[in-house]
Homo-oligomer: A and B are copies of this chain.
């Protein structure tokens, strides 16, 4: 385990294209936080031994150990993190920790929490080669395995909601009606996921084709090859029926502009393979 990295385990190792694999904190945490929706997988408790794992789309945030609300967050590189997931207390995943008993074993079976997997993926480009076999995507993808448990402390739940809200749109928490009411706090569930292993996979650059196709005039002369960049864009904010604030506030319009630039730049940058550019 190199410094600044999650440990490489059999679970998080790559059999194929291992050179695309990354274990460093910065890459993994930033992919999780820039992805608008996380995919969370778990094995639901089922009375009739349903064999299927399931997936829920959820909001979340890779959070450092702790930092006061009024201090800026540490850098993504600074150390390992845990992940807060936001959901409803009634959802199947939130109910799991308290229902893992009876035929499925008592709760002492998973003293660390419920074993789950979190994936965050972002496509940066469609890579078009001479032959479909060599087509690819430029992408950034993180996969985390960890132990999920319900956050009981109201202070920590509030802290997590603040982080998740501001990760969706910077500074939104302080520009909203806060703090939440007692009823709102009661019906909000937050899971805290202790990371057991984590890895990322990143693909950059243009297509790569085989020599026999590159030398075949009828192929190279007829098939366009290259990359179509892909990126998420935010449009003009549209006010609600009951909005009473005339102008879209600067923290929203500024954030939209910033995200659009960052996302587009990310996709364009992904088209260049730095190892090739250095040659």
Contacts and interface: CB of A to CB of B under 8 A. Distances in A.
A209 B172 contact: no
A229 B234 contact: yes
A242 B225 contact: yes
Main secondary structure of the interface of A (DSSP, over half): mixed
Contact of A226 (B50, B57, B239): B239
Contacts of A236: 229
A196 interface: yes
A174 B196 CA distance: 45
B36 A132 contact: no
A275 interface: no
Contact of A223 (B57, B177, B223): B177
Given A126-B169, A131-B176, A224-B249, A238 B229 contact: yes
A53 interface: yes
Interface residues on A, range: 35 or more
Among A135, A184, A268, the one with the most B-chain Cβ atoms within 10 Å of its Cβ is A135
A41 interface: yes
A213 B165 CA distance: 18
A184 B243 contact: no
A267 interface: yes
Nearest to A91: B16
A168 interface: yes
22 contacts: A11-B50, A16-B90, A37-B139, A52-B116, A53-B53, A53-B116, A54-B117, A56-B143, A128-B169, A132-B165, A132-B178, A132-B180, A135-B172, A175-B223, A177-B213, A224-B237, A224-B248, A226-B238, A226-B240, A227-B240, A228-B237, A230-B233
Given A41-B54, A53-B115, 10 more contacts: A11-B46, A129-B176, A131-B180, A132-B173, A132-B180, A135-B165, A225-B243, A228-B252, A230-B232, A231-B235
